[in-house]
Amino acid sequence: MDQNNDHKDMKRSVRKIYSEIARGRQQSCCGTSTSCCGPVGAMTDGVYEGIGGYIPETDLGLGCGVPTEFAGIEPGMTVVDLGSGAGIDAFIAARLVGPTGFVIGVDMTTEMIERANENKSRLNVDNVEFRLGEIERLPVDDASVDVVISNCVLNLVPNKERAFRETARVLKSGGWFCVSDIVLEGEIPPEWRDDPTMYAGCISGAAQKAEFIAMVERAGFQRIEIVQEKEIPPSFLDALLTEKPAGQAGKPPATVRVFSITVRGVRP
């Protein structure tokens, strides 16, 4: 089967699911139940409280970390948020960069862009712009950005190598990225790879942890470090599998471990 068509089909499935979430017609990233994404969403339960710029209405429970906490964002900077959703991290970044800075949120889902713009209008924030686009082809100029952030999105990107190269392209020399994402240790069953539930649930598209770091290195980044790491309990996979049709659920391999990591790297 053509890999490009595989990527297009999976993107179409992910876009449909996240469009439904943006409209409020679906409760989670993997089905009608909130249980399957609960352990991931729980990674940020209460963590955002008290952070300047955090707006509860922008929090759809889709993150797996708080990248702005470690991103070193300062007044006057230009920041890009990959997969900005309803704007949760973009609005925090906007508060940090202040009136002399600017934030660009990029999302491939029209409904998410619409919801983010509704929040922007309601909040009267004028130093944020939300752009429709894909992370592998960012609608951002070369060497125009100080910091790139992302929260639990790169696992949904089929071509992560290209995504990291695009991140390097838009960053200024000396700029850096800080992303939170899901990674794996141990191989998942082959049949999970093409399963939309497992993909939208942040599992089948997640990279092995060592390979994730290797891709960052191949994109040319330096001073790469994992600044935060948390293991997600095995019950997460159990809950995901309950969303599958009867007789297809199976049991997750005991050798598979799921982690939320926050990684930083600098463009030379």
In this predicted model, what pLDDT tens digit does every residue of 86-115 receive, in sequence order?
A: 999 999 999 999 999 999 999 999 999 999
Closest listed residue to residue 132, CA positions, set 13, 257, 256, 15: 15
- C-alpha to C-alpha distance for 142 and 59, rounded to whole angstroms: 30
What pLDDT is stored for residue 164 in this prediction? 98
Give me Rg for the CA atoms of the chain.
Answer: 17
The CA-atom distances, in angstroms, between 60 and each of 55, 172, 239 are 11, 31, 19
- C-alpha to C-alpha distance for 26 and 34, rounded to whole angstroms: 9
Give helix 110-123 / helix 3-23 axis angle, nearest 10°: 40
**If you search the block for the tokens 């790169």, which residue do you land on?**
154
- C-alpha to C-alpha distance for 204 and 200, rounded to whole angstroms: 8
Residue-averaged pLDDT of the chain: 83
Report which residue type is found at 3: Q
| Tens-level pLDDT at each residue, the chain (268 residues) | 344 544 666 667 666 666 676 666 444 444 444 433 444 454 555 567 768 777 777 777 778 899 999 999 999 999 999 999 999 999 999 999 999 999 999 999 999 999 999 999 999 999 999 999 999 999 999 999 999 999 999 998 989 999 999 999 999 999 999 999 999 999 888 877 777 777 777 788 899 999 999 999 999 999 999 999 999 887 777 766 665 544 444 566 678 899 999 999 999 9
**Strands 145-151 vs 78-82: parallel, antiparallel or unpaired:** parallel
Cα–Cα–Cα angle for 85, 155, 185, rounded to 5 degrees: 145
E strands, the chain, in order: 78-82, 102-107, 128-132, 145-151, 171-185, 207-208, 222-232, 257-266
Instruction: Give the pair of three-digit tokens for residue 33.
Output: 């139940």
Q: How far is CA 151 from its chain centroid?
A: 4
Q: Is the CATH code 1.10.3210.10 the one for domain 3-266?
A: no
- C-alpha to C-alpha distance for 2 and 149, rounded to whole angstroms: 31
pTM: 0.85
What pLDDT is stored for residue 261 in this prediction? 96
